[in-house]
Structure 1
Amino acid sequence: MLNEHRLRREIVGEMHLRRWPPITPPMSIVQILRVGPSEGLPPFRGGPAFAAEPGQRHMQGILADGLLFTWERHSEATTLTVFASPDAPLLPEARAWAESAPGEVLRATLIDIESDAAAASARMAQFEVDPAELVCCDFGGGARLSSDFRIKDEGYGRLVVAAGQLGPVDLARAVQSLQELGNYRNMALLGLPVARAVWGKLDAAEEELRAFGRKLDSDEVSDNDLLDSLCAMSLELGTIAADTRYRLSATAAYARLVDERLATLNPVAIPGFASLADFTQRRFYPAIRTCETVVRRQQELAERSAQLTSLLRTRIETRIEDQNAQLLKSLESATQTQLRLQHLVEGFSTVAITYYAVSLLAYLSGGLSLFGVHVEHDLFAALVIVPVFIMLYVYLRRERHRLGAD
């Protein structure tokens, strides 16, 4: 018995989940792409509901005779696809059932699969299509697509596909890739309104940053006020980026998937008609470039704001350092002045202490007469003044040096 990893069967099964059933013309396909939460599908004709298990991303089954369906959950959308022969009696009910599923419809497509180009042209002629907008090309190695990619009155886009020489499995793979291209294209274009909405804000932010740059060269506004304004601007740019990051990042990811599907389909142009590649390049890529430009502008403006803030902070710090240096210099000058005054006071103190010491000694000399020793007071005072002064001066100087060393 193999000791399997708990995710082995899930990740291997993932490689087979998204495959459509084989398509044999003629066939009608209804596919609806929805955004929003969806935990399953409603019941069909009073039968049981098709509930998705927690974490389940794919479901398929049979609605009735000749009616198949597949359901898939993507990161932020779900697709429901119904396969039926054109004359299936329950096809209208199956279509109504698909329309009743939960979620907001982002793309709804009715696909007619015909056996050859003649049948496809006859089918396409039944719809109102402006020839100038008709996209017609070969794709997937032999199938032919015809569509104007417009939403019709019934709320669906119409695609007509001629199977050509493709077998049921290859045809299913090609049409599935075609639908994935369209679905990813619509998901990617969700970022365009977001990009357009913030474009004006980025213009205003860019002009404000230019004004900040000019103010840095003048003294009209204080540095602190400029710094507060720049911080507010940086916060606003950060808020814009946070509000748009998910949607624009998703747009970039979906655009890469569109490129991959387009390369897989390898559309071949038919003279006189626009090809799928032409349609995508002319209408899709300009929108994607707009979104990319918004992302790039956000990054550039954030960098410029950070640079201006850094320059302003550096200037403020330099000024503070200069002020601190001047303050230290003034403190040093005051300290030196105080030291000189202290030395002067010490000199005066030495004189005063000498005076009192000599006076005390003079009084002591007066007491010697009691012991029969006669001392001339004035002479005695004159003799001891200098020694006492020198002794006091040396003592005080030594004590000052000792305290300074401590």
Structure 2
Amino acid sequence: MREHELRRQVVSEMHLRRWPQLHVPGKVIQWVLMTDREDREAELAHLDPILPAPADKPNAPHRSGDFSPGIAVAWERHSEGSSLALFAKGTDPDLADALEWARGLPGQIVRATNMTLVKDDRAAKRLLPKMNFDPHEIVSCYIGGKARIWADFRLQGDGFGHILVAANGLDDRDFSRTVQRLQDLGNYRNKALLGLPEAQEHWPRLDAIETELAKLADRLCANNGRDDDLMAELSSLSLELTTVATMTGYRMSATRAYAQLVQERLEELQVKPIDGFASLNTFTKRRFLPAARFCEALVVREEQLSQRAERLASLLRARIDTRIENQNAELMRSMDRSSKLQLRLQQLVEGLSVVALSYYLLGLVTWGLEGWDGVDATDTVALLVVPTVLTMFIGVRIAKRRLLGSGED
């Protein structure tokens, strides 16, 4: 049996890229970047001196190693962009060189967090005054059973969002897993919210399309306007709807997927609220869910407007088809009247032609008889009028039958 060429890739996807074991006290600094495909080679070239790719997997989507003693690094490529994390020991590690190296990565920052890890609540409360959190916006709750977080989810002067986490005796492995889930929650939340500005940008455009569709529906009901003009306007609106759906489709689908991941990570964190503070659940429901639902509403509205446009187009096509059928029926009736009139004219011409032929034939006979002595041409022609007309009539009918191949009498 031969191994499928994608087997190892599929198996590797089933294994979680865990962070290195976190040290308390310590620091975790992470960037989530949106990287263009053109920058992929530059990104890998920047990583190679510090995080060389495994020899057997030159295109591995995950790399980890040490930047320097006491500072670990982990990089991972995602479907959209990549992420880089620094893990340092101690309460105030020297990260200047590591930060300078990390800033050289290509890409646009979607999220940058500076997470401070401490042993317990007592150590955290000593640091809280230095964290520069907005006292009216602090979110604090228990996660993973024992650990506790403090954050205001705002960007500070250094461009980072700061989070304070107290382990409170949580097992090292469980603590590392909990902190990673907390970061995943924030990363997916920011990626999901990338769809919000796009939804807000295109919502007024859908308002205008809906207004125009309503006007078209009124004109269609009132039979006001040419069908061709109505169909042209309706086609233009349908094309504009398709354009909006195409422009927003990928981002809205990504937002839906990321929002689902946010919900899953939130459940895995086992959030427990603390009196006097907003929890992650409260913050997410108050800030994130309305934005995600707005993006979902945009998709639903696009589909509904597309269905309305399609129904209007069907009604308009039905009206056009009905008018064409009526026009065809009227044309057939007109052709029938024309055929009957033509038949009558033909019969009239036929009668006149019999008279004319009889007249000319009797004229020839008259000229012939006048050359004979002793023959009364007038009386003879008078006797020949009826037989001549009958003969011409029968002759014309026979010629007509042979020419048209019909059995008319």
The equivalent of 1:284 in structure 2 is 288
Cα offset, 1:359, TM superposition: 4.5
Q: Structure 1 residue 36 and structure 2 residue 23: aligned?
A: no
* Alignment partners' CA distance in 2, 1:101 and 1:92: 15
Q: Which residue in the other structure is 1:122 paired with?
A: 126
Counterpart of 2:18? 19
Aligned length: 399
Q: What is the deviation of 1:400?
A: 3.5
Task: Give the match's secondary structure for 1:150.
Answer: strand
In 2, Cα distance between equivalents of 1:156 and 1:325? 76
Specify the code of the residue in structure 2 equivalent to 1:252. R
Structure 1: gaps (5+ residues): none
Contact preservation (8 Å) 1:109, 1:156? yes
Shift of the 380–33 alpha-carbon distance from structure 1 to 2, 3 Å rule, reads same
Trace 1:4-403 onto structure 2 (pairs within 5 A): 4-16=3-15, 18-37=17-36, 38-39=39-40, 40=43, 48=49, 50=51, 55-86=59-90, 90-218=94-222, 221-360=225-364, 377-401=377-401, 403=404
CA distance in structure 2 between the aligned counterparts of 1:231 and 1:286, rounded to whole angstroms: 33
Measured after TM superposition, the shift of residue 267 of structure 1 is 1.2
Q: 1: CA distance between counterparts of 2:398 and 2:273?
A: 106
Contact 1:42 1:50 in 2 (8 A): no
Give the Cα separation in 2 of the matches to 1:51 and 1:347.
108
Separation in 2 of the partners of 1:265 and 1:400?
Answer: 100
RMSD value over aligned CA atoms?
A: 2.8
How far apart, in 2, do the equivalents of 1:55 and 1:386 lie?
A: 112
The C-alpha deviation readout for 1:314-357, integer Å capped at 9, x for no partner, is 32332333233223322221221111010111111122223334
Structure 2 counterpart of 1:322, one-letter code = N
- Gap change, CA 1:391 and 1:51, over 3 Å in 2: farther
What CA distance in whole angstroms lies between the structure 2 residues aligned with 1:88 and 1:125?
16
| CA distance in 2 between partners of 1:303 and 1:269 (Å) | 44
Residues of 1 paired with 2:319 and 2:59: CA distance? 56
Other structure's SS at 1:273 match: coil
How far apart, in 1, do the equivalents of 2:15 and 2:387 lie?
113
The separation in 2 between residues aligned to 1:187 and 1:355, in whole angstroms, is: 103
State how far apart, in whole Å, the 2-side matches of 1:167 and 1:400 are: 113
Is the contact made by 1:67 and 1:84 (CA closer than 8 Å) also made in structure 2?
yes
Residue 153 of structure 2 contacts residue 162 of structure 2 at CA under 8 Å; is this kept in 1? yes
Structure 1 residue 132 displacement after superposition: 3.1
AA aligned to 1:315 is: R
In 1, the alpha carbon distance for the partners of 2:162 and 2:310 equals 50
Q: Distance in 1 between matches of 2:58 and 2:347?
A: 89
Q: What CA distance in whole angstroms lies between the structure 1 residues aligned with 2:376 and 2:249?
A: 105
Report the TM-score, using the length of structure 2 for normalisation: 0.87
TM-aligned CA distance change 1:43 to 1:351, over 3 Å: closer
Measured after TM superposition, the shift of residue 30 of structure 1 is: 0.7
Contact in 2 for aligned 1:21/1:169 (Cα 8 Å):
no
Q: Which residue type is aligned with residue 386 of structure 2?
A: V
CA 1:117–1:398: 2 relative to 1, 3 Å: farther
Structure 1 vs Structure 2: percent identity of aligned residues?
Answer: 44
Give the letter aligned to residue 103 of structure 1: G
When residues 348 and 280 of structure 1 are mapped into structure 2, their CA distance, relative to the original with a 3 A threshold, is same
- Cα displacement (A) at 1:122: 2.8
1:167-197 per-residue CA deviation (whole Å, 9 max, x = no partner) reads: 2222222211111111111011111111111
Q: What amino acid sits opposite 2:328 in the alignment?
A: N
TM-score, structure 1 as length reference:
0.88
CA deviation string 1:128-155 (max 9, x = no partner): 2233321112222432222111111111
Shift of 1:57: 1.7
Q: Deviations over 1:21-53 (max 9, x none)?
A: 222322211101111234335769xx9264668
> In structure 1, what is the Cα distance between the partners aligned to 2:399 and 2:170?
110
Q: Which amino acid aligns with 2:254?
A: A
Cα distance in 1 between the residues matched to 2:186 and 2:216: 45
Q: Does the 8 Å contact 1:34/1:107 carry over to 2?
A: yes
